[in-house]
Structure 1
């Protein structure tokens, strides 16, 4: 009975997992198409609009990678945050707002996020995962035991 309950629970969790991924992917695709359609109707695209499309692109890539590997690379979230802050910075500056301390905060945030990307990349290079991941996204064993 425990085995059957575990199998049903795993099936429900995995079903919810795929349903959520498809919902997030569909919402991202719909939002990007609508943003693009707004640009077409306006007959011009600003840098803000293009950066928004990059945010949607990164969200779509993140969903795709998570769908294929069941792992969510933190770098993609950092890239999205950097792009969002850059978009906000450009929008803030382009509306001729007088520079203030907020400009420095935004630049500092972008800088620290960029440092975070470097730190994550260095850590993943220097300290790789000890488990290999197969095509289905499952851990197949310790790399230390294969030596």
Structure 2
């Protein structure tokens, strides 16, 4: 009989600690998302102002703005759904490699194996996008316990949405 009160106290303590832990983790997530979003907006603004000051935009600048756009979209999607859109990371990598490829071709004008390797990396990333897209439609993430949000730390919070 005496162990019932101890068990109830243990459950109450566990419930309070779980609630406080979830509050702290979610608070950190929101703070980090706002900081990352602000940094992306700041960097995009700085790049845009640099283009405005020079009076011209290069293809490198435009591709860099696309990278910032994709990063901003990633932050927005994660903020709304608590799911990390893995495909957007791949899109950022493809855009960065394309920017590298264009810059290399513009400045060097010499075909070499480096160009072939960058093109191969872009092809592999494109195939990875297809694989992730196929997997996310065939094997979707389980629904979250709370409508609109999954629990922080759930395996579902790391999935990619179709």
- Which TM class, normalised by the smaller chain length? 0.7 to 0.9
Match of 1:9 among 15, 21, 29: 21
Match of 1:53 among 65, 74, 77: 65
Task: Describe the shift of the 1:66–1:46 C-alpha distance in structure 2 as closer, same or farther (beyond 3 A).
Answer: same
Q: Kindly report structure 1 stretches of 4+ aligned residues shifted beyond 6 Å.
A: none
For 1:108-134, what per-residue CA distance to the aligned partner results, in whole angstroms no more than 9, with x for missing partners? 0000000111111112222233x2346
What is aligned with 1:25? 37
Aligned ranges for residues 89-128 of structure 1 at < 5 Å? 89-128=101-140
CA RMSD between the two structures: 1.5
Q: How many equivalent residue pairs?
A: 138
Return the offset for 1:138.
3.0
Instruction: Report if the CA contact (8 A) 1:69-1:136 is conserved.
Output: yes
Report which of the two has the higher share of strand.
1
**Is residue 132 from structure 1 mapped to residue 140 from structure 2 by the alignment?**
no
CA distance in 2, matches of 1:127, 1:27: 34
Q: Work out which structure has the larger RCO, using CA pairs closer than 8 Å and 6 or more positions apart in sequence.
A: 2
For 1:15-64, what per-residue CA distance to the aligned partner results, in whole angstroms no more than 9, with x for missing partners? 11100000000000000000000000010001110000000000000000
For structure 2, list consecutive stretches of 5 or more residues without a partner in the other structure: 1-12, 152-162
What is aligned with 2:7? none
Which structure's CA Rg is the greater one? 2
Match of 1:83 among 76, 95, 98: 95
**Is residue 37 from structure 1 mapped to residue 46 from structure 2 by the alignment?**
no
Report which of the two has the higher share of helix.
2
SS at match of 1:95: helix
Match of 2:78 among 66, 80, 85: 66
CA distance in 2, matches of 1:63, 1:69: 10
For structure 1, list consecutive stretches of 5 or more residues without a partner in the other structure: 140-147
